[in-house]
Structure 1
């Protein structure tokens, strides 16, 4: 059975798309970092940036304070030398958890300001935004963001709790690690995508459907964001950079979807009157 050149080209194009989609996510996150210095965007990134720094600082302080308290209470003085061995390892694990949690919480708490940043990034990239009136944009973004975040809490908390409880089950608990990584990447992508998609009027249910239609691209973005959350200093700018990069990616997807639509067919000309 022979394969036609056209079908071979289509198969090759599909394979390239499967490889390119996950890789495009990290590329857009890097683009988001570059966009933060662009005129018209810098002023709108300050509140998400400062909020992220405060949350990271609080998370790190809580991790170290809790670690010291746990060692003081549970580690006997007779084996105090173990503290010097266990402390660095445990501290790194707790910092990873704290930094990742701070990114999720930052997206939730700073949602109204994040939506305004996404609006400004769209304006800088396209010359227009979902709402041209500044007052209308501010009040509408605040209402929409607060409503969406309440829905997201109802979506996030049961899933995080489920993975955590799964990790406590003997033997089966090993599945919590890969599931936790997948869930973390999905939640980060969903949080960042909620800003431009929410500005476009997508309800939270529609946002999830939008991401599910393009899983490779959005999971790639989420995993890249998880990696950046572990890099000192760089993680401080993760929230504004993630919003800017995700907005740019959603704009490109919207353009691609519009280009894929079939051209409208002109109606037939009316017959000439006899």
Structure 2
């Protein structure tokens, strides 16, 4: 257990240097598109859904006693906004996948590594191909999220089991975000999404620590706009320090 928490703490620590890296002048040009996508999707989505839900909640809560109304109101707002932010964040990642892949490649170059996206003189056909690969990988992640998330959602609606739902969703969200962002450097180096899942299964403490730190970012207003490029940077730093050496040894993580 002590080893797990040490690994968790180490995984959690990648977010701060990632945020500093994204703020560097030579990295901003790669991060600007993901930031714009996050801003449009998160702000636009929250405003549109918020206006719709406000009227529905007002009508629903009008039948409750006033002393309970405020408590239920704030509870529902916090719960729905957190859930909606996570869903919109998934949409942002899908739309920004090609740009996130390029950002990860640029960070690897900054760290002195080479990958298939490192060549800035690559032709248009290769750029289109890489974009299709990035979006395809993102769809696989979304499929994994739905495959595991839907049963969890059903359990969250069952009385008794739903008492454990917040912890279960926190762990699930952290695990999915770690997969989301360590997949970019893995994909840039010729590894498919199953490689990220295999590594996450082997190093649960590290990956949950990384994902938990990013989950906190996605739930913080304003900070969640920067969560996507910071996540890409954190995942790439994580890959560089924890995974890259394993891929060139006989015991490297295999795609299954």
For the criterion TM > 0.5, the same-fold answer is yes
1:253 maps to 242
Q: Is the 8 A contact 1:130 1:199 kept in 2?
A: yes
TM-score, normalised to structure 1, is 0.80
Structure 2 alignment gaps of length 5 or more: 252-256
Q: 1:164 to 1:242 in 2, by over 3 A?
A: same
Match in the other structure for 2:151 = 162
Deviation (angstroms), 1:16: 6.9
**1:188-210 superposed Cα distances (whole Å, 9 cap, x missing partner):** 11111111111111112222112
Q: Which segment is superposed worse, 86-95 or 150-159? A: 86-95
The question of 1:171 aligning with 2:156 is answered no
Aligned to 1:51: 37
Q: Residue by residue, what CA displacement relative to the aligned partner does 1:2-51 show, whole Å, maximum 9, x if unpaired?
A: xxxxxxxxxxxxx8754432112221111110001224311010110111
- Match in the other structure for 1:92: 78
The 1:101–1:71 alpha-carbon spacing in structure 2 relative to 1, beyond 3 Å, is same
- Corresponding residue number in structure 1 for 2:108: 122
Runs of at least 5 residues in structure 1 that lack an aligned partner in the other structure = 1-14, 263-274
What is the distance in 1 between the residues matched to 2:161 and 2:246? 41
Worse overlay, 71-80 or 154-163: 71-80
Q: How many residues align?
A: 248
1:188-203 equivalent positions in 2, closer than 5 A: 188-203=177-192
Q: 2 CA distance for matches of 1:189 and 1:116?
A: 18
Could you tell me how far 1:178 is from its partner in structure 2?
Answer: 2.2
Give RMSD over aligned pairs.
2.6
The alpha-carbon deviation at position 259 of structure 1 amounts to: 9.3
2:175 equivalent in structure 1: 186
Does the alignment pair 1:144 with 2:133? yes
Alignment of 1:39-78 (within 5 A): 39-76=25-62
Distance 2:232 2:185 in 1: 8
Structure 2 residue 18 is matched with structure 1 residue 29: no
**Conserved in 1, the CA contact under 8 Å of 2:61 and 2:73?**
no
2:203 maps to 1:214: yes
Question: 1 CA distance for matches of 2:56 and 2:218?
Answer: 25
The structure number with the bigger radius of gyration is 1
Task: With the length of structure 2 as denominator, give the TM-score of the two structures.
Answer: 0.85
